[in-house]
Structures are given as structure tokens and as C-alpha cells.
Structure 1
Amino acid sequence: MPLPPDFTLLQVVPELETGGAEQTTIDVARAVIAAGGRALVATRGGRMVARLAADGGRLAQMPVHSKNPLTMLGNAARLADLIRTEKVSLVHARSRAPAFSALWAARRTHTPFVTTYHGVYSARNRLKRWYNAVMTRGDLVIANSGYTRDHVLAEHHMDPAKIVAIPRGVDLDRFSPAWVTPDRVEALRRAWGIAPDERRTRFLLAARLTRVKGHLTVIAAAAKLKGEGRSDFVVLFAGDDQGRDDYSRELTAAIAQAGLQDTVRIVGHCDDMPAAYLVGDVALAARTTPEAFGRTAVEPQAMGRPVIASNDGALVETVVDGVTGWLVEPGDADAWARAMAVAIDLGPGKRLEMGQAGMNRVRQLYRNDLMCAATLAAYERVLEARA
């Protein structure tokens, strides 16, 4: 059963600022439009709204990021009105707080409801488990990796037939070395203070400045390498703190205390990630808690760069140890220092071979068109079951 000709999708996501859930929202909206449907996104807003509009999607701006119960009730009423006015065919919620409003609106309007589990949510008590379980109350649950699917099944004891694993995809029209012009790479090198004759191995950790992303582990690993007399590498942290000023200051202080000002640099938010991965030689995915998918381990592989990643969560699905990168115990600075030393000593030629292996694997398993096709097939399955 293909999508009906008048299909209209409403996705609900807290913000369209940056991140994997947000990028997937944009990707799926584009796929629906390409298939002849209409795509709406209810969100607070953010820097990715322009991309949604450029693809032909429509913004429905409302405070769906809020966890205030009164605001959530208001959002539910607004979403119900939107569903009726726009004749929405299916509602897809991508976060817990908005999912409550979206679920209520979908039930009130008898509209099919789908959720995506983009993260592995902790549940230390019964109330938190109930809060998380809103993501399992739709017609179908999409998990963004096999690891996430296993977690949901173990945590919520739901019917396995109601959950499907659809790994996130990478846009290979964007993340392709062939499409990145030298001037884009050079512009980033200049912005990040990398000299034209720089010969040190460059490690890139592309992630928001938040504690779970492992920046402090990498700083400690860099300090260990420096203590061993190594000065043949540089570490770049690409990402903004999104208001986490205390953590940003903590990182700056840790870098200064270790005397790494010339070795570890916080370069801020980057809008041109394909070029950023080409500036780097090796990508780092150093998360200290299990990663539900980890786009920052897959995108650099699409760009031909090997990855050092935490040996946990879904990263063990996306990085093949010794083939497309290295898997290292999360939070173990000594282990990260050893892995970084191996990557440096491997040299450009061998790293290029690993990067090519990663590129081939991404093209087989993590293409954006595969993710979008599987998501649209999930929508078709839900509509057929409702019919």
C-alpha cells in the first residue's frame, strides 16, 4: 500500500536546532515531499527551520519543548486544531514531552500515531518509567538502532511486533568527499587557526559541549600523550555549549591546567560538517554513556575518516574495531590515549585504507534513502492497519 495521494505528515520535535533527531526530522520531511505528500513540523523553532522551508516543508511554531503541564495541554489543543485544519494523515512524535501533547491530539482526532525512540532514557523510579513509556503508546515505535530496540523491549516489555529498528541515515549527497570543494576546507582551517604547513594528526570531536560527550576524557588522554613526550597531534572540539556555560568554562580550565592550549582547541559550532571531517584526520566519538545511534560516528566514515569510538551502545554496530576505526572503553583516558597513539602512528596511508572501508560500509548500511524508505514503509504499514 503506497502513501495516499493526499498524505500529510505532522512531525513533532522540541526544536530544530541541531542533533540527530532534528536532522532525521528534516530528512523524513524531504522524503515525504519527494513522494508527493505534505510535511509539517510542530516545533519551537531553531536554525534548521530554513532548511525545512527550503525543502518545501512547513513550520507550525509552538512551545512543544515545554514540560509545563498547562503548556502541554495547550499544545495538545493546538495540535488537534492543526490536525483537523491541515487534514493530517499521521502524527510522528520524536521526544517525550511533545509526545504527550501529540498523543492526546492524535487520539482526539482519531489520527494514526507513531513515535521514534531517539535516545536511551534512564528510569530510576516508577514515575520516570511511566513518563518514558509515552513513547511506546503509538501504533508503531521506531527505534534508531538495534541497541535502542533491545533497550525498549527490555524496559517496557512491549509487543516486539510493535517496534521496528530503522537506523539513522546519512545524506551521501552532502557527506561525500567528492562534493566538498577545497575552498570550504581551507576556510575552516583558517577559522580554526590551522596553519597551511600543519603536519600534526588532527582529531575532531564534533558534538555539543555537554558532559556525556566525553570531552574531559579526551583532554585527559591528550594530557597523557603530552606527558609521554608526544607533540604530534591536535584535538578540535567542534560544537557549542547551548547555554551550558559552566561546562564550557570547566573544559577551558582543564585544557589550561594541563598546558594543552596549543593542542586542544574549542572551535565552536560548525555549519559545514562535511568539510570539518576533511579538516580532521580521525574522528572521535567519546560518549561516556551508551549512545542510542551516534551520527557523529557514521558521518565521518562517510567522509572517509576512521573513528575512535566508545565500546558501548549502538557505536559497536556502526564502528568495526580494527577495520573502520577503534572501539575503546568509555571514560578510560589511558585507553583513549593508547588508541589515539595507534591512530597517529598508523600514518596517513593506512588511515586512508580504514577510511575507505568505513565509507563502503556506510554506503551499504546507513544511506539516507534507506532510512527514509524504511520510515515511509512504516507509515504505510500503520495506515494499512488502521484502514
Structure 2
Amino acid sequence: MQPTVLQILPSLDYGGVERGTVEIANELVRRKHKSIVMSANGRLVPELTASGTEHIDLPVGEKSIISIRLIPKIYQFLEERQVDIVHVRSRMPAWLTHFALKKIHQKKRPILVSTVHGPYSVNPYSKIMMSGSRIIAISEYIKKYILNNYPDINENKIEVIPRGVNNKEYHFDYKPENVWIKNWYEEFPHLQNKFLITLPARLTRWKGQNDFIEIITKLNAMGINVHGLIVGGIDKRKKRYFHELKSLIKKNNIEDHITFTNHRDDIKDILSISNIVLSLAKIPEAFGRTALEALSLGVPVVAYDHGGAKEVLEDLFPEGKTEPLNTKKAVSLIKKFYESMPEVKNKNIYTLDNMLDKTISIYNSFYL
């Protein structure tokens, strides 16, 4: 039997959850499964539908009492389309799905799978993500979070499936095309021949941009001529934080040593021309995707030693681990790398193929 799989998430804009959803959907289609995604619209919808997945545009991520009106629509959709598996990837969609499933007779009810993408606040609202017949944790860190905070959950229900990168796209031999390099240096001429230290992260306090600025400041004060690149979207709600960062840069007198790129679709190319990539999340992240992408290109990474990034570096590049929130130690490690760059070994175990195989094996396991 080839099951019909419905994935539900808030929207399909760029992000790790959204990218993983599209990757699974594309693989389902390739394997002749019926693939459906329900979410609000977003920039990834054209890519999703072009590969053969059906998209249902519903605002299932809105945290509002009026979202209750969506429950009958979801119930009707599940019934009419005879969905076999519902894979929920966020809390609000999970609650709407929970109430929709309750309306379906137990013998006809689709199987529920959930992915815990982060260490949510611990409360009854978050516990809905632990209600699936199978629970996917995207790292060992997230599995420990589940077991520590919800001890009544059966550990056997939890499957650790780390995110992965496509080895055909992220590999040591990758080089940007000449036209990209030409366009890049036309846009950022001041970056030519610079030692680039890159922080790829959307602008938000916990991603560590202020620590990054302190690190670049200290390195330049030591006579180490580096340039800091902050790559990430600047949401209008984060304008105040952005201006705080700009003020800090001015105060530290390093305007000529920091560049903001805003959101970029060419992150792989930017990572590949970087000398070092940093991961400075102030609270542990569920998975170190940025670190993994850089290391998969052969670019050294310095990362705070906690959360999912810790796991990736332990497996692929332990030399790059540094004490969380300690910018002094991060500076010392970067200085060491600047003077003698360590080799990144070509041994990535976090592949997209592994993630796809393990996830779809969970779907298929209900029908073996």
C-alpha cells in the first residue's frame, strides 16, 4: 500500500521546518506516494507544487480563537481525501488536527506522526506534539528534552532523525559560478581579499549577533584583520534590535569591519567563500543546520558547545566547539584558526538521503 500523507505546518516560507517539509514531500512523490501539504501560503509553494505535491492553503498556524473554524474543514478534508497519515510539525496545527481527528471513527482515523522541531516551552499546549503514534526528534538534544520534561511519554515512540544536507549540493568540491562571484563583488566590493567570518542567522536576539560584533571587535583590536558578515533577514519587527546592533558597531568603531546582507537566497555560495562560519545561538538550538551546511562545504565552524550544534561538531569537527556565551574563548579559538587553519574532514553523516529514508520508513512501518 502507498499511503496518502498529509503534512501540516503554519506556512511555507523559508526556514528549517519548511525546507524539511518540502524535501519529504518531494521524496514521497518520487516514491509514488500521494503527498499533500496544508499550510498558509509562502515562498516555497511553487517549488512544492512543481514537484507534484498538492498544496492546501489554510491559515492553520494562526494563534487565534477564530482558528477553531478550521477544525470542520480539516475533518472534512481528511474524510473526503482518505488521508492515511497526518504529520504535524507545529503546535497550533497539531491542536487543530487533534480535534479534527476526534470527529473521525477510530477505525477510520488517520495515523498521527509528529516532529518536535525545537525545545518548546513546557506546558499542556506544547504537550500536543507528544501525542503522535510516533514522535520524531530532530536531534538527541530534543529527545532528551522530551524525556526530561514529559516523563510519561514512552521512549519507544521517539525516533531521532537528524536533519540532513544533500551531498550532491553541499560537497567539498563546490565552487560558486563565476557569474555569481562577479555579481557578489559588484554588490559588495569592499569584501574582496578579506578574511571573512560569517554568521548566517536571521536577526533576533537569541541568535547572537551582539556576541558576533564583540568577537569581530576584539579580533580587530588584536590586529587580526577580519571582516564580519551577518547574513539574515531583518524583519520589520526586529528593526529596534537592528538599530541597537548598528549603534554597537559604531560605538566599537568597526563600521568598516561588519556588513549586513539582509535575507539571501544564495547562502550556500556565501558559506563557500567564507573563511570561518560561526554559530552563536544563546540558547541551545534543536539542530545545527548552519554548522552542518558549512562543514559539508569544507568550511571550518566555530560554534557554541550546546544543543544540536554541539552534536554536529562532535561528529564532524570537534575542534570548533567553544564555551557558550564566552566571547573571549571564541576569539582565542578563531585567532588559533586564523594562524593555522585546521582541516575539515570529509565525513558527513548527516545526509538528506538518511533523513528521507528514515522518515518515510516510519510512514511505511504502519502498513508492513
Superposition TM-score, scaled by structure 1 size: 0.88
Q: 2:251 aligns with which of 254, 257, 264?
A: 257
Mapping of residues 190-229 of structure 1, within 5 Å: 190-196=186-192, 198=193, 200-229=194-223
Query: Partner of 2:174: helix, strand, or coil?
Result: helix
- Please say if 1:133 is aligned against 2:127: yes
- Please say if 1:39 is aligned against 2:39: no
Deviation of 1:322 (Å): 9.4
Query: Partner of 1:305: helix, strand, or coil?
Result: coil
Give the letter aligned to residue 165 of structure 1: V
C-alpha separation between the residues in 1 aligned to 2:131 and 2:80? 24
C-alpha separation between the residues in 1 aligned to 2:190 and 2:318? 26
Mapping of residues 3-82 of structure 1, within 5 Å: 4-5=1-2, 7-71=3-67, 73-82=68-77
Change (3 A) 1:48 1:317: same
Give the letter aligned to residue 174 of structure 1: E
- Could you list the per-position Cα deviations for residues 158-205 of structure 1 after superposition, in whole angstroms to 9, with x for gaps in the alignment? 101111100001122222343742322443343334444x1x321111
Change (3 A) 1:76 1:194: farther
Query: Partner of 2:260: helix, strand, or coil?
Result: strand
Give the letter aligned to residue 127 of structure 2: A
Give the letter aligned to residue 205 of structure 1: L
- Please say if 1:298 is aligned against 2:292: yes
C-alpha separation between the residues in 1 aligned to 2:362 and 2:219? 48
Q: 1:379 aligns with which of 335, 346, 363?
A: 363
- Could you list the per-position Cα deviations for residues 292-327 of structure 1 after superposition, in whole angstroms to 9, with x for gaps in the alignment? 112101011111111111101121210139946411
- Please say if 1:369 is aligned against 2:353: yes
Q: 1:241 aligns with which of 230, 234, 239?
A: 234
- Could you list the per-position Cα deviations for residues 180-237 of structure 1 after superposition, in whole angstroms to 9, with x for gaps in the alignment? 42322443343334444x1x3211111111111111111111112222233x211111
Change (3 A) 1:308 1:53: same
Unaligned runs of 5+ in 2: none
C-alpha separation between the residues in 2 aligned to 1:9 and 1:301? 33
Indicate the larger mover: 263-272 or 42-51. 42-51
- Could you list the per-position Cα deviations for residues 36-57 of structure 1 after superposition, in whole angstroms to 9, with x for gaps in the alignment? 0122111112211122122222
Aligned 8 A contact 2:175 2:269 in 1: no
C-alpha separation between the residues in 1 aligned to 2:204 and 2:9? 20
* Aligned-residue RMSD, C-alpha: 1.8
C-alpha separation between the residues in 2 aligned to 1:321 and 1:162? 25
Aligned 8 A contact 2:143 2:160 in 1: yes
C-alpha separation between the residues in 1 aligned to 2:315 and 2:95? 40
- Please say if 1:102 is aligned against 2:97: yes
- Please say if 1:284 is aligned against 2:278: yes
Change (3 A) 1:174 1:82: farther
Partner of 1:331: 325
C-alpha separation between the residues in 2 aligned to 1:307 and 1:321? 13
Query: Partner of 1:262: helix, strand, or coil?
Result: helix
Query: Partner of 1:105: helix, strand, or coil?
Result: helix
Unaligned runs of 5+ in 1: 124-128
Change (3 A) 1:321 1:169: closer
Deviation of 1:368 (Å): 0.3
Aligned 8 A contact 1:12 1:43 in 2: yes
Change (3 A) 1:227 1:179: closer
Aligned 8 A contact 1:43 1:61 in 2: yes
Indicate the larger mover: 165-174 or 336-345. 336-345
C-alpha separation between the residues in 2 aligned to 1:270 and 1:63? 26
C-alpha separation between the residues in 2 aligned to 1:301 and 1:208? 20
- Please say if 1:150 is aligned against 2:144: yes
C-alpha separation between the residues in 1 aligned to 2:139 and 2:316? 21
Aligned 8 A contact 1:309 1:315 in 2: yes
Indicate the larger mover: 319-328 or 246-255. 319-328
What's the % identity of the aligned pairs?
A: 27
- Please say if 1:164 is aligned against 2:159: yes
Aligned 8 A contact 1:290 1:314 in 2: yes
C-alpha separation between the residues in 2 aligned to 1:14 and 1:121? 16
C-alpha separation between the residues in 2 aligned to 1:75 and 1:325? 49
Aligned 8 A contact 1:103 1:138 in 2: no
Query: Partner of 2:87: helix, strand, or coil?
Result: strand
Deviation of 1:99 (Å): 0.9
Aligned 8 A contact 1:44 1:63 in 2: yes
Aligned 8 A contact 1:15 1:46 in 2: yes
Aligned 8 A contact 2:174 2:297 in 1: no
- Could you list the per-position Cα deviations for residues 69-95 of structure 1 after superposition, in whole angstroms to 9, with x for gaps in the alignment? 321x22222222222232222111111
